[in-house]
Every structure is written in structure tokens, then in C-alpha cells.
Structure 1
Amino acid sequence: MKKLVILFLFGLWLNVASAQNAKNITGIWWNDEKTSKIEVIEKDGHYFGTIVYMIPEKYEDGQPPKDDENPDPALRDRSIVGLQILSGLKFNNKDKEWEDGRIYDPKSGKTYDCFGWFEEGNLDKLFLKGYVVGIKWLGKSTEWTRTSLN
């Protein structure tokens, strides 16, 4: 019985540790160019990122830029601020990375499969890689830096 209790407690600890690792991706991030801040949240075990801030220098006539490269003409008039650009990432505890996500690039209007990870011991730099046709090495990486909304 004692072994069963110890095994149960160890399993519970592993579950909590895994959930904490998965949530490391949440927060506010500067994009690689430091022009936009993206808020990453968790919903039902998946992670989503929305542009919540853009530097004023990118505004046109006092308005944030539009999604004018979107392949859908009906969406080209929407604001970049408030746009969800990251979706569906889920944490792979074995590989210690987030996978099976999608990332949208408003500059090109293209959406890519993506995954993300942290380098060893540094939770302030998030690496994301967008790729096409399921070939991870055939893609482009970006580095986001943890920040705050203010």
C-alpha cells in the first residue's frame, strides 16, 4: 500500500511539472523585429497568440496597419492589432516543445505549420519555426523575447 501511495504522489508531481512546463509559453512576447507584442494564452491544452500591441511608427494615419496581404479579400481590411497569428500549439512533454500549431505571417499573408521551443534554461527567448508540407527543416525560424504589455 505504501508503494502505491508513493507511486500515486510521484505521478501527481509529474503531472503538475508537465503542466508548468507547458504553460511556460504563455505571456507577452516581442516579435523578432520588436514591432509587435503577441500575447500567448492557453485554452483547453492548446496555445494561441494574438497581436496586442504594435509600435506607433507602424501606424498609418493614426490607425494600425491592415491585413492587406491576406489571400482572402474580405479579410484585408481588418486590423493587424487584435489578429490571432498563432494557433493550435500543444505541448509535447517528451520532446519539451510545442507542436502541431499554425502561424500566420501578416507580411506575406501566408500561414505555416509551426512548432516552438526554448533553449536550455532560458525562458525569455521563445523560438518558433514555421514550415511547409510537413518538412520541419524546410522552414524559417523566428525568436520572440518575453516582455510585458506596458
Structure 2
Amino acid sequence: MACRFGFMIAILATALAVPATHAQGAPEPVGVWQTQAGDARVKISKCGGGICGVVVSLRDPIDPMTGKPQVDNKNPNPSLSSRPIIGLPLFSGMYPVAAGKWSGQIYNADDGGTYASSISVTGESTLRVEGCVGALCGGETWTRVRR
């Protein structure tokens, strides 16, 4: 199956909002972001004391093999493998570790794995998403989507 997101966190490596800020003035990633390859858009919002990210659209929402919406068919848990990619939570517990940086776990629907990850605001319209498996790390830059 074709790569649905264009990012292979750790292998090869978010309502739209004006950038919000912490009380200290550090930027937050709240809003909708497009992956580096442009195949998915992820809505990042505040949740609990951290941030959450959910897939809100795909460039190719229909699986050409089935003619139906893309599903999480690489998930090793059979009870999750038929859930739609649109609406899929990629991360739900990223917590601040420094100004403009969050850390936690991220799910990669391209391979069904969950990886140690960090998200850093690198500019008003750019976000660096990185992940690691052991010492092997990689990432990509996401771009803020504006209306």
C-alpha cells in the first residue's frame, strides 16, 4: 500500500488557530498542520496538560485497493486495524519539556508502531516532528495550514 502520510517517524526518520502562546510567550503548535509530503493534515489541540494530534484529512482518503476510506490496517491490534485514518489520534500525551517543545509518544499508521517523539515549534508556520527507535532517529517539518 502507498505511504499514507509521507512520514516514517523513527524509520526514516493540528478549527485552525492563530498561533497561541504560553504565559511565558513560547509558541504553541495549536492548529492544523500539513505533513512534509502533503499527504495528511493533523489538528493539534490542547488536552490535559499537554497537546493531542488527530488526522483531519488525507490527500488520498480512499484506499484504491478497496474503494473505501483508508483504515489503520497496519495496526498490530486486530481490534484497531479497521478504524478510519481520518479521525485517528496520532498522539494524545505530548507534554511540554521546554519552551516550544513537547515530548511523548507518536503513532505511525504507516507501520503500526508507536515511537518516542518530540514536537518543536521552529517558526510561526513550521513544526518539527521527530521520532526515535533506540538510537535511530529521524523527522520532518510540518507546515501550518491557513484558511
Q: Per residue, is there more helix in 1 or in 2? A: 1
Q: What is the aligned counterpart of 2:106 among 103, 108, 112? A: 103
Contact in 1 for aligned 2:54/2:89 (Cα 8 Å)? yes
* 1:21 is the counterpart of 2:22: no
**Any runs of at least 4 consecutive aligned residues in structure 1 with deviations exceeding 2 A, and if so which?**
60-64
Greater RCO (CA < 8 Å, at least 6 residues apart): 2
% of aligned pairs identical? 27
- The structure with the larger Rg is 1
Query: Is the contact made by 1:124 and 1:145 (CA closer than 8 Å) also made in structure 2?
Result: yes
Q: Distance in 2 between matches of 1:37 and 1:21?
A: 23
> Aligned equivalents of 1:115 and 1:140: distance in 2?
11
Unpaired runs of 5+ residues, structure 1, are 1-15
Deviation of 1:53 after TM superposition, in Å, equals 0.8
What RMSD in Å do the two structures reach over aligned CA positions? 2.1
**Structure 2 letter corresponding to 1:50:** V
1:6 aligns with none
Counterpart CA distance in 1 for 2:84 and 2:140 is: 22
Q: Which runs of 5+ in 2 are unaligned?
A: 1-21
Deviation of 1:132 (Å) = 2.4
TM-score where L is the length of structure 2:
0.75
Indicate the residue corresponding to 2:118 in structure 1. 115
- Return the TM-score normalized by structure 1: 0.74
Q: Deviations over 1:103-139 (max 9, x none)?
A: 11101011101111133xx221100111124x5xx31
Whether the 8 Å contact between 2:47 and 2:92 is mirrored in structure 1 is no
Partner of 2:127: 126
